[in-house]
Structure 1
Amino acid sequence: MKKTQWQGWDPGEQAEQHYLVQPRALAGGGDVRHISEFLRASGWRDKSTSGGPLFMESPDRTVRVAYDPYVLPGGWTIHGKADGLNGEWSAHLGRQTPVEIVAGLTDALTRPRSAHAPSVWAPFEEQNWPTRFEGKHYMATSPDGTAWMQYHQGADGSAMWWAGARDEQGNGWTANFTPTTPMYLMQAFSTELADADPVMRPRGYVPLSAQIRTWSVSVHPSQLSAWQQARITAARTATWARSSARPRTSARPYTPAGGPRTRR
């Protein structure tokens, strides 16, 4: 990016080395604030304790998002209470699940549901992931074989969604979702998992793997700040628009005790 193209660029800033990483599923966990700041800007309550794991709650208190790196295996836990459309549900995603993929699900929690019927497998088909049946299981696998998503049905009839990524050294992550997880959330997750675009990681935070490809880029701190702020601003704007669109109940006219009186 040229200096003249970036109005917020400070000539005194030092560019920092970052890397674009592909495939994104093997890029490592990333910055948790990518998720937490978006939820906070969307009106979620931050109930984290100082120095403890991340813990956030939706405005209506029906969904909780937690990230705990201090326990094994650690990672993300997302839990939703039963409502009129879905039963109680939960999702567990490993610590090395890229935040961009986790955000596919958590961002969707802040938006109204689409009127269109969701399709978990459509994003994979659009990105040319092979899909196939394996017994009672249905599975999509990335073209390079490093990532997958599976609808798994056990012999006892139990079922769950299972996804993950792994390189030849065994490094990676897994995620599982209860069968009651709303399908629009599963589609939002699968969309980010299937996305072929690379994600950015700072120097020193790129996993050592023969299965990833990287491109070095120089980024100024003000650029990173502006990109992060644009995401936060989008969340605030969407939240404000939704609250403004809610119908307001007009106050009833005052009626004296004893009912209306008629003049004679």
Structure 2
Amino acid sequence: MRKKQWPGWGPGEQAEQHYLVQPRALAGGGDLRHVSEFLRASGWRDKSKTGGPLFMESPDRTIRVAYDPYVLPGGWTIHGQADGPNGEWSAHLARQTPVEIIAGLTDALTRPRSAHAPNVWAPLKEQNWHTRFEDAHYTATSPDGTAWMQYHHSPDGTAMWWTGAKDKQGNGWTAHFSPTTPMHLVQAFSAELASPDPVMRPRGRVPHSAQIRTWSVSVKPSQLRAWQQARITAARAATWAANSARSTWPRTTARPYTTAGGARTRR
């Protein structure tokens, strides 16, 4: 029986070797476009300079996402301006933080906030992470001990979210969020951090670590493009739906009720 060819494959297209990597927290940084293209498709402005660091700005100009590999230690910086009752906030993530985990937070920046109260620890507990109090800190650790999430209290009274992953050779990354970072964003990050799903890396981009498991897969370039396009299409559709909903909202400012004589009624 002949194998059915995927419709998107071009004539003579050659498969390329990739690897599925697990746990995802130790998979390395990955392709920045996983983050940037989704934001761009969601209406964010790309203000990056040619050959320079990545710099994205939200449509209302209140949030900025940047990636700069040219400074030490380098990595991701996400900054949000004060907004009403919410204070200014920031997140800093090292270069080796997997883009799929970062996208948990940055994708959430494009969506309306849920009416449900966020719980950072819920996604971790669902994946059987171990939680414990240590001094003034509350910490969750992955079952294999390679990743953690902590609400950290410093001796001077300041607090922050501290997270990261590290193998036995010392390879890994750390990230921290200011205590004013909106909780639903930290929860979206923790959900991707705890996800058991592997992530894909091309040959030559898989970290050397005894703590990871890999599976070799053959992938057509057109398959990769189709998967990337599906993510971009979803972002555009969600943005279109949100903009359409806002444009059809009824006016909320009602005219005061008056009597036949024109006098405003009193309660």
- Common fold by TM > 0.5: yes
Q: Tell me which residue corresponds to 1:259.
A: none
Residue 124 of structure 2 corresponds to: 124
Contact 1:129 1:143 in 2 (8 A): yes
**1:1-264 paired onto structure 2 within 5 Å:** 4=4, 6-247=6-247
Question: How far apart are residue 244 of structure 1 and its match?
Answer: 0.6
Structure 1 residue 168: Cα displacement:
0.9
Structure 1 CA distance for aligned equivalents of residues 31 and 172 of structure 2: 17
Residue 156 of structure 1, CA deviation: 2.1
1:201 aligned counterpart, secondary structure: strand
Q: TM-score, normalised by structure 2?
A: 0.91
- Higher alpha-carbon deviation: 55-64 or 10-19: 10-19
How many Å apart are 1:80 and its aligned residue?
0.1
Q: Is the 8 A contact 1:74 1:94 kept in 2?
A: yes
SS of corresponding position for 2:4: helix
Structure 2 counterpart of 1:236, which letter?
A: R
For the residues of structure 2 that align with 1:247 and 1:71, how far apart are their CA atoms? 42
Contact 1:150 1:162 in 2 (8 A): yes
- Bigger mean CA offset, 149-158 vs 54-63: 149-158
Runs (5+) with no aligned partner, structure 1: 251-264
Alpha-carbon distance between aligned partners in 1 of 2:137 and 2:11, rounded to the nearest angstrom: 56
Which residue type is aligned with residue 108 of structure 1? A
Q: Offset of 1:71 from its aligned partner?
A: 1.0
TM-score normalised by length of structure 1 = 0.92
Q: Secondary structure at the match of 2:236?
A: helix
Letter in 2 for 1:104: G
Deviation larger for 148-157 or 50-59:
148-157
1:22 counterpart letter in structure 2? Q
Instruction: Tell me the alpha carbon deviations over residues 161-193 of structure 1, each in whole angstroms, 9 at most, x when there is no partner.
Output: 000001111111000000000000000000000
CA distance, structure 1, for counterparts of residue 115 and residue 75 of structure 2: 32
Structure 1 residue identity aligned to 2:181 = T
1:9 deviates by 1.6
Paired AA for residue 163 in structure 1: T
SS of structure 1 residue aligned to 2:165? strand
Q: Distance in 2 between matches of 1:238 and 1:5?
A: 31
User: What SS is found at the alignment partner of 1:246?
Assistant: helix
Shift of 1:4: 2.5
Report how many residues are paired: 249
Distance (Å, rounded) in 1 between the aligned partners of 2:31 and 2:249 = 42
Q: Is the 8 A contact 1:3 1:9 kept in 2?
A: no
Identical amino acids, percent of aligned pairs: 82
Distance 1:153 1:124 in 2: 20
Distance 1:215 1:42, change over 3 A: same
What letter is aligned with 2:185? L
Cα RMSD over matched residues?
A: 1.3
Cα distance, 1:10 vs structure 2? 2.1
Can you list the C-alpha shifts for 1:98-123, whole angstroms capped at 9, x where unaligned?
A: 00000000000000000100000000
Contact 1:28 1:207 in 2 (8 A): yes
Taking the aligned partners of 2:103 and 2:26, their CA distance within structure 1 comes to 16
